[in-house]
């Protein structure tokens, strides 16, 4: 019997010369296959392949021949052609953009997520070329597009996180891949919320669609975002802005067909008021009001121990109340009308203060007057819809009641529905219908409704009409006058931006834009903000628009404006 400690052949046997020769041949063959690839000499792994080839006894001449025969110099040829273009007078930036755009198209067309993941895994660490790419906006944009097409690609998911870590999270709000990574999603959420807080309404209008699409990607992202915004709003001074952002996200979710009723009511604390919760849940879930649930809410809010106002200040519920009262064609039971009016007035006018879970103050001083104003205007709108030509005689009442913001919102809803109805133009007799005069008054009284007024005017300006060409032009001039009035009330940049877009799209008669420019130049005076000049100057500089308005002695408004802008530059 062998002793325990005796050598019994456990040591690994050394490779025989024939095995080593076979392995070397495999390595040489593998390297030669790589050398035969087009432009392999330009690949990052060329040096590693050359080293392995030499170490295993590869023949230098064969390697040099293989590399030179398969060298086509695509990158060098591209650089040469680019230099030729620059020599012929093309701008360097234009040429660079042209090359980058073509390269981006090719990468997107031929991208293979499996191959990308395998290369990425083989590296074992973040490739230096990837860190170099994300510094440039063009390549970041390409990664966003790829991430949308290949959400399961590990390499792209890591790249999105890398871009976020590098501080570009403000660009990622439209990338669904960010929704799968809590760290990236939180960073984008924070950046977007801070941007909305700092830059205000204009940023919200331009960035909200992409931001809401990211937040509404799934129930988990929506719940997480709303809980976070709600918590910060309740525990931060000036939290009403974040509350507004949460409400805008809720509106977008409802418009997209998502069911978010339970989340909304839970965050509002509705669970502590079961009857109100049940009534609201039923109506919001169906996106429709009904007399039974309205009666329940009316009784609750008409009592001395009314639930919190926040429960009926849900934007979706307020919108339903406004539509029930002011949208033409709604069949509202007269026996229940006062309940709808009361709830809308209560939500708009009652002020309360809560400390923890106890109400310390409830002020209903404006409830009665607000209810009376709503009731008057609702009756006038109903009569006008049925009979017509009643509003002009009641302009004084309309202007008096329009001072209430909630009444202005109701009238805005009614005007929007009325003027966008094709039958409106059949009965049009005045050059300035009273409906448009109401929009002027709303613009004068309520700065927070400027955006809504402009949206109505844009829809009216762009909608086709059955009017004759000349009559239609005069009517559109009247609509433009309303936009000019809106501009005079401080809503400058959005109005100018819209007219600028009309000029760029070339879908508006030049005489209309000329009328707008003439009126605006008569009312403005320096100094002008940089943003205003950037938007208005291209319109004024356009010869087709203002050529007829200029005089030989340059004393006209157009020449004076252009001269001032030249000095300011």
Using H for helix, E for strand and C for coil, what is the string for 230-283? HHHHHCCCCCHHHHHHHHHHHHHHHHCCCCCHHHHHHHCCHHHCHHHHHHHHHH
CA distances from 497 to 460, 491, 502 (A): 17, 11, 9
The pLDDT score that the predictor gives to residue 476 is 92
Q: What is the mean pLDDT of residues 97-125?
A: 84
540-550 pLDDT tens trace: 999 999 988 88
238-289 pLDDT tens trace: 688 888 999 999 999 998 889 999 999 999 989 999 999 999 999 999 999 9
Taking the C-alpha atoms of residue 517 and residue 115, their distance in angstroms, rounded to an integer, is: 57
Angle between helix 219-234 and 182-199 (nearest 10): 50
The pLDDT score that the predictor gives to residue 569 is 67
Residue 6 has pLDDT above 50, yes or no: no
Q: What is the mean pLDDT of residues 369-381?
A: 94
Give long-range contacts, CB 8 A cutoff, 24+ apart: 208-214: 208/248, 208/252, 209/252, 210/173, 210/174, 211/173, 211/249, 212/248, 212/249, 212/252, 212/253, 213/174, 214/173, 214/174, 214/175, 214/176, 214/178, 214/179, 214/185, 214/188
Q: Which residue has the higher pLDDT, 569 or 414?
A: 414
Q: Which residue has the higher pLDDT, 292 or 1?
A: 292
> Which residue is associated with the tokens 């909304």?
264
The pLDDT score that the predictor gives to residue 416 is 92
Residue 3 has pLDDT above 60, yes or no: no
Q: Mean pLDDT check: name the lowest of 145-149, 289-293, 348-352.
A: 145-149
Chain centroid to CA 196: 11
As given in the structure block, the two tokens for residue 29 are 């063959």
Helix (H, G, I), strand (E, B) or coil at 349: helix
As given in the structure block, the two tokens for residue 161 are 């996180």
The structure's pTM equals 0.76
Taking the C-alpha atoms of residue 334 and residue 348, their distance in angstroms, rounded to an integer, is: 22
Burial class of 169 by CB neighbour count within 10 A (0 to 12, 13 to 18, 19+):
buried
Helix (H, G, I), strand (E, B) or coil at 214: helix
- pLDDT class of 10 with cuts at 50, 70, 90: very low
DSSP annotation string for 423-455: HHHHT--SSS-HHHHHHHHHHHH-GGGHHHHHH
As given in the structure block, the two tokens for residue 421 are 């109805």
Residue pair 175/160 in contact (Cβ under 8 Å)? The answer is yes
Residue pair 328/417 in contact (Cβ under 8 Å)? The answer is yes
462-476 pLDDT tens trace: 988 888 888 889 989
Residue pair 433/392 in contact (Cβ under 8 Å)? The answer is no
Taking the C-alpha atoms of residue 408 and residue 404, their distance in angstroms, rounded to an integer, is: 6
CA distances from 511 to 471, 475, 480, 497 (A): 14, 13, 12, 18
Cis before 527? omega within 30: yes
Q: How many CA atoms lie within 13 A of 58 on its CB side?
A: 25
Looking at the DSSP bridge assignments, the partners of residue 355 are 358
Taking the C-alpha atoms of residue 271 and residue 282, their distance in angstroms, rounded to an integer, is: 14
Taking the C-alpha atoms of residue 311 and residue 341, their distance in angstroms, rounded to an integer, is: 16
Residue 396 has pLDDT above 60, yes or no: yes
The pLDDT score that the predictor gives to residue 24 is 80
486-516 pLDDT tens trace: 999 999 999 999 999 999 998 899 999 999 9
Phi-psi region of 321 (alpha: psi -120 to 50; beta: other; left: phi over 0): alpha
Q: Mean pLDDT check: name the lowest of 138-142, 182-186, 506-510.
A: 182-186
160-172 pLDDT tens trace: 888 888 888 777 7
Residue 211 has pLDDT above 90, yes or no: no
Burial class of 374 by CB neighbour count within 10 A (0 to 12, 13 to 18, 19+):
buried
């Amino acid at each position: 019997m062998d002793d325990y400690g005796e050598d019994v052949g456990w040591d690994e046997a050394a490779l025989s010369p024939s095995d080593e020769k076979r392995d070397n041949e495999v390595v040489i063959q593998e390297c030669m296959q790589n050398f035969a690839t087009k432009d392999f000499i330009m690949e990052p792994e060329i040096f590693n392949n050359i080293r392995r080839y030499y170490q295993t006894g590869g023949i230098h001449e064969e390697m040099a021949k293989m590399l030179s025969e398969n060298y086509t110099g695509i990158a060098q040829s591209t650089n040469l052609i680019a230099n030729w273009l620059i020599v012929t007078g093309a701008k360097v930036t234009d040429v660079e953009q042209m090359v980058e755009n073509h390269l981006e198209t090719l990468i997107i067309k031929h991208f293979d997520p499996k191959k990308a993941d395998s290369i990425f895994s083989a590296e074992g660490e973040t490739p230096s070329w990837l860190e170099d790419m994300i510094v440039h906006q063009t390549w970041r944009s390409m990664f966003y597009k790829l991430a949308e097409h290949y959400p399961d690609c590990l390499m792209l998911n890591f790249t999105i996180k890398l871009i976020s870590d590098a501080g570009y999270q403000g660009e990622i709000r439209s990338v669904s891949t960010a929704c799968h990574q809590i760290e990236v999603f939180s960073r984008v959420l924070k950046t977007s919320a801070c941007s909305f807080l700092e830059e205000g309404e204009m940023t919200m209008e331009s960035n909200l669609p992409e931001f809401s699409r990211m937040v509404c990607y799934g129930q988990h992202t929506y719940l997480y975002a709303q809980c976070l915004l709600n918590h910060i709003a309740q525990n931060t001074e000036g939290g009403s802005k974040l509350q507004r952002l949460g409400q805008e996200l809720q509106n977008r979710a409802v418009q997209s067909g998502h069911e978010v009723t339970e989340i909304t009511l839970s965050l509002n604390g509705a669970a502590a008021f079961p009857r109100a919760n049940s009534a609201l849940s039923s109506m919001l879930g169906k996106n429709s009001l009904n007399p039974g649930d309205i009666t329940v809410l009316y009784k609750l809010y008409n009592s001395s121990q009314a639930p919190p106002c926040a429960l009926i200040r849900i934007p979706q519920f307020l919108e339903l109340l406004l539509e029930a009262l002011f949208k033409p064609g709604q069949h509202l039971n007269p026996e229940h009308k006062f309940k709808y009016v009361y709830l809308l007035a209560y939500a708009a006018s009652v002020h309360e203060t809560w400390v923890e879970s106890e109400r310390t103050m409830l002020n209903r001083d404006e409830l009665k007057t607000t209810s009376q104003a709503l009731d008057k205007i609702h009756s006038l709108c109903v009569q006008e819809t049925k009979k017509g030509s009643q509003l002009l005689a009641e302009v004084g009442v309309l202007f008096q009641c329009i001072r209430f913001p909630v009444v202005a919102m109701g009238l805005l809803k009614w005007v929007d529905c009325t003027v966008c109805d094709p039958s409106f133009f059949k009965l049009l007799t005045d050059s300035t219908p009273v409906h448009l005069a109401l929009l002027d008054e709303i613009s004068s009284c309520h700065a927070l409704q400027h955006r809504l007024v402009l949206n109505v005017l844009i829809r009216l300006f762009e909608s086709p009409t059955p009017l004759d060409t000349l009559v239609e032009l005069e009517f559109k001039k009247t609509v433009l006058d309303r936009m000019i009035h809106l501009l005079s009330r401080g809503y400058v940049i959005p109005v100018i931006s819209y007219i600028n877009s009309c000029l760029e799209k070339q879908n508006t008669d030049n005489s209309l834009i000329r009328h707008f420019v003439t009126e605006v130049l008569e009312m403005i005076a320096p100094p002008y903000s940089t943003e205003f000049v950037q938007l208005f100057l291209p319109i004024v500089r356009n010869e087709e628009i203002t050529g007829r308005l200029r005089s030989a002695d340059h004393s006209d408004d157009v020449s004076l404006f252009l001269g001032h802008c030249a000095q300011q530059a």
